[in-house]
Structure formats: C-alpha cells, structure tokens
Structure 1
Amino acid sequence: MSAPDPKDDELAGTEAPFVSHLIELRDRLIRALIAIGIAFAVLALWPGPSALYDLLAAPLVAHLPKGATLIATNVISPILVPLKITLMAALMLALPIVLYQVWAFVAPGLYSHEKKLVLPLVISSTILFIVGVAFCYFIVIPGMSKFIQAFAPSAITAAPDIEEYFGFVLTLFLVFGVAFEVPVAVVVLARIGIVTIAQLRKARGYFIVGAFIVAAVVTPPDVISQLALAIPMILLYEAGIIAAQLFIRHTKAPEEAADGSQKPG
C-alpha cells in the first residue's frame, strides 16, 4: 500500500473556502453590473443617448469649419455610437459602486490598519479618474481641435467619422484617467515597501523624462496634448510623495507604531 502524497494533505480542506471565494466574487460582479445597468437605464431616459453624443462631440464641433459636421460612414453608427457613449457614461457614473465592490471583496483578508488605507484609495481613485476625464474633455480636446484646425490646409474640409471620433476620445479619456492615478500608484508602492520616500524623491528626474516620453507616445502628435498630459503627471507625482508620507504615518500596524515610538527622534 503506497504512502499518502504530502501534496494531498496540503490541499485538504481548501475546496470549500475556494468555492466560497468564487461565489463572493460572482456576487460582487453581479452587483457591479447591476449598478452599471441601472446607471445606463437612467442615462438612456435622461438626458438620452443623442444628448450625450452631442455633449461628447461639442468640443470638436465648436472648432470645425462653418457648416461642417461629423459624419457616419457605417449604416448603424448613428444608433450604435450614442449607445456606446451612454454605456461609457454609465460606467463612470457607477464607478464608485464598482470600486466599492472591489474593496468589499478584498477587505476581509486585510488587517485593520490596512483597511484604513484601502477605502481612502478607492475614493481618491474614483475622484482622480473623473478629474482626469474632465480635464481631457474641457482642456485637451478643445485645445487639440483648435490646434489641428489652425494647421489644416484651407482646401480640406474637416468631417470626422463619428465612430472614429468616439474611439479616439475614449482612448484619450482612458489615458488621462489612468495618468491621473499617479498619486495612488505612488502611495501604494511606498506603503507596501517597494520604494521609500527618499527613493521616490531621487527618481523625480527619471519620472519627469518618463512622463514626457509617455505623453509623446500615447497622445496625438501635437504639443498641447503632450504638455497637457506630461505636466499634470509631474505635479501629481509630487502630490503622491506628500500623500504617501501622510498615509504611511496614519496606516502603520500597531507593532510598527510601537517600534517607531521607541526610536529616538
């Protein structure tokens, strides 16, 4: 008779917890999808997909030549694009609930001092993402549209396709939304000990160069868009260093705080 495999003992009793985690994950995903669905239904009723499309197109239309409009080269684009825009707006509207579901899923496995860190990060992530999208909508897209039209030959009449414009704007929204998460990334990296505050300060020059490289790669080839992404990233990096100091100070484990209090100042 063969001896029992040690690996079997290691995995014994893990089936139920794993299944319960999957069930919990499923429930959280369903709640997040329900929140997005409710937001979509509300936005579809008011202000409606057409109004949301007009709102999204406004920064570009304002700088098109007189009489020019966006066009649809696909048969179903006039219906499909407004619905996609409504879904994008619904996701942004439901973002706090979606991030809360993520937090609620990971919270049971965290220590009490770690939970103090997670909820402020969820809230700040939501706010920073929305601020990044708003900055792109109100500052970057109008400035970029004006810059492009100023250099366009007079023989060309601009009439962008609505589907291409939506894809272009969605990409910019994601780029600026994620870029504005720099302080959150800095805080997390510093709090979990991957980098120290001193290392973050020493890396300031490298980050500045990297910010301009990223801006040159992910934004359109105009100076306004590149500066509009690189400069906020640099300022947010500095804000992240300050926030990391505050978070580390207020989210120490009890034993860390005790050790710190015993050290001479």
Structure 2
Amino acid sequence: MGKLETEEVIDEIENVRMSLGTHLEELRRRVVYSIIAIVFCFVVCWFFKVQILDIAKNPHKFAMVKAGLSTELQVLSYQEGFYAYMKLCFITSVFLAYPFIIYQIWQFVSVGIYKKEQKYVL
C-alpha cells in the first residue's frame, strides 16, 4: 500500500467516524424502520388471512385426503383460531419484510466497513 492509498483509507475512516451515541441512534432508526415494515406487512396479511391459511393448509389437506381423514382443522378453545391467524400473519409478514430487513441491516453495517470489504459482500 502506497502513501497515497493509506491517506485515502484514513480520509475514508474519518469521513464515516461516528460516536457511540450516533451509532445507537442509527441502530434504533434501522430497527424502527424494520418494525414498521413488519407491521405494514402484517396489516396487509390480515386482510388476506383466509387465503394465506388456505395456501398453508394445502399440504395438510393433501395428506388427509390421501389418508381418507377429515381435512378440517380443529381448535380446542375459543381464542385458538384467532391466535392461529395472528401467528400466521406475523410469520408471513416477517417473510415478506425479510428483504427490507436485510437491506436495513446492510445499511447499518456497510458504514463501518471498508469499500474493499463491501465489494466482497456484494
């Protein structure tokens, strides 16, 4: 590494240097964006919960028909059906928001690594 390259690396480090408080604020902002994305996807999934459940039930339905058994799901308490929809919508919303969450993680991490290291990841 030549002297010019070393100076460029030092300048690059100085340009992105942040205090601990600034790092924590940046992390909080990225986490909040990710949570907002999950909540948005959850609301969208809630409107399509019956269709999503039908898709999720297809393997069960196929296996039960093949075995000659009932294809209906059963609930043991009143709130169990509601909780099943909540869990299904939450898992689906995390799945849908996953690319955005990974992007937020990358935006947080990419500031702290060198350009050469970023090229290896991309």
Per the normalisation by structure 1, the TM-score is: 0.37
Q: Is the aligned partner of 1:62 residue 2:62?
A: yes
Q: Quick one: which amino acid aligns to residue 30 of structure 2?
A: R
Separation (CA, whole Å) in 2 of partners of 1:23 and 1:50: 39
The structure-2 alpha-carbon separation of the partners of 1:55 and 1:26, relative to structure 1 and needing over 3 Å to count, comes to same
Separation (CA, whole Å) in 2 of partners of 1:78 and 1:50: 12
Question: What corresponds to 2:41 in structure 1?
Answer: 39
Question: What corresponds to 1:78 in structure 2?
Answer: 81
Contact 1:44-1:86 at 8 Å conserved across structures: yes
Q: What root-mean-square deviation, in Å, do the aligned CA atoms of Structure 1 and Structure 2 show?
A: 1.6
Any residues of structure 2 matched to 1:77-96 within 5 Å, and which? 77-96=80-99
* SS of corresponding position for 2:33: helix
Contact 1:52-1:82 at 8 Å conserved across structures: no
Highest RCO, 1 vs 2 (Cα 8 Å, sep ≥ 6) = 2
Residue 74 of structure 1 and its aligned partner are, at CA, apart by: 2.7
Question: What corresponds to 1:204 in structure 2?
Answer: none
* SS of corresponding position for 2:19: helix
Any residues of structure 2 matched to 1:13-162 within 5 Å, and which? 17-45=19-47, 48-64=48-64, 65-118=68-121, 120=122
Q: Quick one: which amino acid aligns to residue 21 of structure 2?
A: V
Q: Quick one: which amino acid aligns to residue 42 of structure 2?
A: F
| Alignment gaps of 5+ in structure 1 | 1-15, 121-265
Any residues of structure 2 matched to 1:159-238 within 5 Å, and which? none
Note the alpha carbon deviations across 1:165-212, whole angstroms, 9 max, x for none.
xxxxxxxxxxxxxxxxxxxxxxxxxxxxxxxxxxxxxxxxxxxxxxxx
Residue 75 of structure 1 and its aligned partner are, at CA, apart by: 2.0
The structure-2 alpha-carbon separation of the partners of 1:105 and 1:77, relative to structure 1 and needing over 3 Å to count, comes to same
| Alignment gaps of 5+ in structure 2 | 1-17
Contact 2:45-2:93 at 8 Å conserved across structures: yes
Separation (CA, whole Å) in 2 of partners of 1:67 and 1:60: 10
Separation (CA, whole Å) in 1 of partners of 2:70 and 2:103: 46
